[in-house]
Structure formats: structure tokens, C-alpha cells
Amino acid sequence: MTGPIAKLSFWGVRGSTPTVDPATWRYGGNTPCVELIAPDGTQFILDCGTGLRMLGNRWGSGLNGAHADTHIFVTHYHWDHIQGLPFFAPLYDEKNEFQFYSFRSKFLGPDSLRQVLEKQMALPYFPVDFSAMNARRKFRELDGGESFTIGENRIATRWLNHPQGCLGFRIETPAGTLVYATDNEPGDAALDKNLRELAAGADIFINDAQFAPAQLAVNRKGWGHSSWREGVNVAREVNAKTLVLFHHDPDSNDRGIDEILQQAREEFDSVFAASEGMIITLGSANEPVQAHMPGSRTALRREAQFHARVSGLTAEGQKFDEATLVKDLSLQGALITLKHSPRMQSELQVTMETPTADGLQAMQLRGYVVRIEEGAEQGTTAVGVVFTD
Ligand SMILES: [Zn+2]
Ligand SMILES: [Zn+2]
């Protein structure tokens, strides 16, 4: 029996400014954009960073069908949360209709979000103006502390601690509760309380984790961001089930985020580091939340037959080491069938025997688990890895 299912997709996870440095490729360089498809088909888009362009490009494709009802929530007006809007192709199509939500900024006055959109596209900053956007658009102003329903989903808002203000959103669907709390810094008693109210008992709690705890304590204090440790503390206090570390610093490379994730996992069991393309399904009752990356980012695979030894940690944290065949290999990764089920976003050592002129040679690779599925044979797991270095 399957209950209601909601699908959460990460299109942009980077904070402050996009990155194209290859050392940030694995987690991704687009700025915040998260999508939730609720069980009733309502589509929620949370923030309009550069990740929104990618979402728009998939519009109407099998992966992401066009939705009659799209609700776009903007947390605040900093560049990294609005910059994808002019590049969101569905806004130029008169067949589409969007309902936008954001707050009245004291710097902008009434209709803040509409003004932001118009000014973003004002000459000479953009080649066409706002009137080129033919989709129907409606704007609703929100305040912190509101709650209302959209379809069968309940929405709640709270103010968070961030320069010029930022709203956090809680979306309760029949498949589970998502809390989106990007761009917030601990240290203001009333706003800290808001964050806890918002995150209480959430199935998925997405929290700002831009800085290391030490940075946050000293030279990044007052910048409006948080750390993995704060996320863990809040998740523990309010019984959030899964924590997603979000809004990665543009100066954090993949190795740095690996480390942050590892530290967080030592303190809290269910943690993921948001990565571009990651999908989390809500609603599989009583099962641990599973995240996976669709094949598209590890595409261009070739059929192969390499003997390999794979060692790593299982989802339960046990060490394992086993022999297998690698049948599906690309320059960036491989799909490996294992009897063990490794932990998502953990590291695997893969030693492959490769034929050379002098016979077989062992090739040592470090892989990073991006995808876990049931294997074709019973009792096996198909594990997608990206080779790191
Ligand atoms: Zn931001
Ligand atoms: Zn911000």
C-alpha cells in the first residue's frame, strides 16, 4: 500500500553568488531554488536563484510536467534569491499562470516583489523589460506569523534573522512537512524562537549552513547566516527528522562540504548536504528518508566489465569491503552493484583491475555516493558514484 507522496527537488543550493569553479561541481553552483510537488499536484517553488533557470528548462518535460497551479515563494530580495527570474522561460509563455508570495520590504513599500521584478529587468540591465513576460502573474504580500492553505497543504511563515529581513516557510502536506529556512543567523532570541516554531517536528528541515561554526563565532558574525552545528541543535531540540544543510558558501569547495556533512553526521543521524539535482521523496511512512540524484548528471555512461573491490560504510555505519563487477562506467562515475547498501553522500574506495600492456593493474579511485537504488538481482543495491579525485 502506498500513501501520498511529495517530491522535493533541489535546483540551486549555493549561497550568495553562483560558482562555476570545477571544485564546486559535485554540490553545484546555482543559487537557491527548491521545488516541492505536493501529493495534490500543487507545485511550490521556493526562491528564484539561478537554479530556477534549470527548472524552467525542464518545464513540461516528463521529469517535471507543467502544473496548473504554481506557487512561487520568495524568502527575501537579495540577489541570490531573485536572480533566476528573468531567465525563467515559463514566465514568457502566456499559457502559464504564477502566484507569487513575498513580503513588503520597508525599502520598497507596497508591491515589493513586483517592483523587484520590474527593476531587475529595467533598461539597461536587461535586454527586454517586464512586459515581455506574458504569463499571468499574481502577487500576494505575506507577513511573518501567517498561516493559510493552498489545496490540501498548510503553509506557515515566520520572520528569520537576516539583514533586511527574510521569511522562513513551513509547508505541511499529507505526505509530510517541509521547512525551508535559508538565510538566517542565530543569536536573536525572538527570531531563534521563530525558527524553532517553524521547524517543530518537520520531516525535512532545510537550514542555512553557509559558515563553519568557528567562522560564525568570530569573523562572520552578523552576516546573516548559520552553520551545520546550529542546524543540528535546532533539529534535535524540536525533533525535526531530517536536516538538509543548505546555502553553501561560494568559497566552500566539494571537499569542504564533504567535511561539513561528515561533522554534522557525527552529531545527528539523518543529515544531507543539499546538492544540485538531489531529489528527496516524502511519504514513505516509517522508512528513513532517501535522497537520490537522477541519472542525468552522471550521464554518458559506457558499458564495461571491470573487477573491482569496494569498501565504505553502510547506511547503519558499519564498515564493509566486497568484490564486484563494474559494468557501467563514465569519466565521472560508475554504477556499481553491491550486496551492501552504502550511505548516501558517503565516500567509497573503489579499486579496479584494469588491463594494461603489462597485465592487470590496480586503479584506486575515490567515489562519492550520489544514488542508491534497488539492484536488478534480489538482495543487491545499485549504487551510483561520482569519482572525486
Ligand atoms: Zn542568500
Ligand atoms: Zn540573503
Between the CA of 239 and the centroid of ligand 1 the distance, in Å, is 25
For the chain, give the mean pLDDT. Answer: 90
Between the CA of 73 and the centroid of ligand 2 the distance, in Å, is 14
Cβ–Cβ < 8 Å for 348, 310: yes
With a cut of 70, say whether residue 206 has pLDDT above it: yes
Q: Is 231 helix (H, G, I), strand (E, B) or coil?
A: helix
Percent of the chain's residues with pLDDT above 70? 93
Ligand nearest to the CA of 224: 2
Ligand nearest to the CA of 185: 2
Cβ–Cβ < 8 Å for 328, 335: yes
Between the CA of 81 and the centroid of ligand 1 the distance, in Å, is 6
Cβ–Cβ < 8 Å for 49, 10: no
Ligand nearest to the CA of 16: 1
Please tell me the predicted confidence (pLDDT) of residue 286.
62
Number of H helices, E strands in the chain: 6, 21
Between the CA of 192 and the centroid of ligand 1 the distance, in Å, is 18
Please tell me the predicted confidence (pLDDT) of residue 226.
98
Ligand nearest to the CA of 32: 1
Q: Which residues contact 325 (CB under 8 A, 6 or more apart)?
A: 305, 306, 307, 308, 337
Between the CA of 26 and the centroid of ligand 2 the distance, in Å, is 23
In the structure, what pLDDT confidence band is assigned to residue 335 with cuts at 50, 70 and 90? Answer: confident
Ligand nearest to the CA of 161: 2
Cβ–Cβ < 8 Å for 166, 246: no
- Closest to 145 measured CA to CA, from 90, 198, 203: 198
Q: Which of 42-56, 181-195, 200-214, 334-348 has the lowest mean pLDDT?
A: 334-348
Please tell me the predicted confidence (pLDDT) of residue 358.
78
Instruction: Please state whether the predicted TM-score (pTM) of the whole model is above 0.85.
Output: yes
Ligand nearest to the CA of 223: 2
Query: Alpha-carbon distance 177 to 180, whole Å?
Result: 10
Between the CA of 296 and the centroid of ligand 2 the distance, in Å, is 30
Beta pairing, strands 271-273 & 279-282: unpaired
pLDDT digits (tens, 9 = 90+) for 25-49: 889 999 999 999 999 999 999 999 9
Between the CA of 78 and the centroid of ligand 2 the distance, in Å, is 5
Q: Which residues surround ligand 1, an ion (CB under 5 A)?
A: 15, 80, 183
Between the CA of 275 and the centroid of ligand 2 the distance, in Å, is 19
Q: Is 283 helix (H, G, I), strand (E, B) or coil?
A: coil
Beta pairing, strands 6-12 & 166-173: unpaired
In the structure, what pLDDT confidence band is assigned to residue 356 with cuts at 50, 70 and 90? Answer: confident
Whose cell is 515581455? That residue is: 132
Between the CA of 77 and the centroid of ligand 1 the distance, in Å, is 9
Between the CA of 218 and the centroid of ligand 1 the distance, in Å, is 20
Whose cell is 515563494? That residue is: 73
Between the CA of 76 and the centroid of ligand 1 the distance, in Å, is 8
In the structure, what pLDDT confidence band is assigned to residue 68 with cuts at 50, 70 and 90? Answer: low
- What's the mean pLDDT in 58-84? 82
Ligand nearest to the CA of 208: 1
Cβ–Cβ < 8 Å for 348, 313: no
Between the CA of 38 and the centroid of ligand 1 the distance, in Å, is 25
Between the CA of 318 and the centroid of ligand 1 the distance, in Å, is 37
Between the CA of 162 and the centroid of ligand 2 the distance, in Å, is 7
Q: Is 172 helix (H, G, I), strand (E, B) or coil?
A: strand
- What's the mean pLDDT in 116-138? 90
First CA to last CA across the chain, in angstroms? 42
Sheet holding 291-292, edge to edge: 136-142, 97-103, 70-73, 43-46, 33-37, 6-12, 279-282, 291-292
CA angle 311–312–317, rounded 5-degree value:
145
Between the CA of 166 and the centroid of ligand 1 the distance, in Å, is 9
Between the CA of 364 and the centroid of ligand 2 the distance, in Å, is 41
Query: Alpha-carbon distance 352 to 344, whole Å?
Result: 21
Ligand nearest to the CA of 164: 2
In the structure, what pLDDT confidence band is assigned to residue 145 with cuts at 50, 70 and 90? Answer: very high
**Stated length of the chain:** 389
Ligand nearest to the CA of 209: 1
- For the residues of 29-73, what is the DSSP string, one character each? -PPPEEEEE-TTS-EEEE--STHHHHHHHTTTBTTB---S-EEEE
Query: Alpha-carbon distance 32 to 276, whole Å?
Result: 10
Query: Alpha-carbon distance 93 to 357, whole Å?
Result: 58
If one compares 387 and 71, the residue with the highest pLDDT of the two is 71
Ligand nearest to the CA of 48: 1
Neighbours of 23 (CB within 10 A): 12
Whose cell is 511563515? That residue is: 157
pLDDT digits (tens, 9 = 90+) for 303-334: 667 788 999 999 888 999 999 988 777 767 88
Query: Alpha-carbon distance 345 to 340, whole Å?
Result: 15
With a cut of 60, say whether residue 301 has pLDDT above it: no
Query: Alpha-carbon distance 294 to 273, whole Å?
Result: 16
pLDDT digits (tens, 9 = 90+) for 252-298: 999 999 999 999 999 999 999 999 999 999 986 666 677 777 654 44
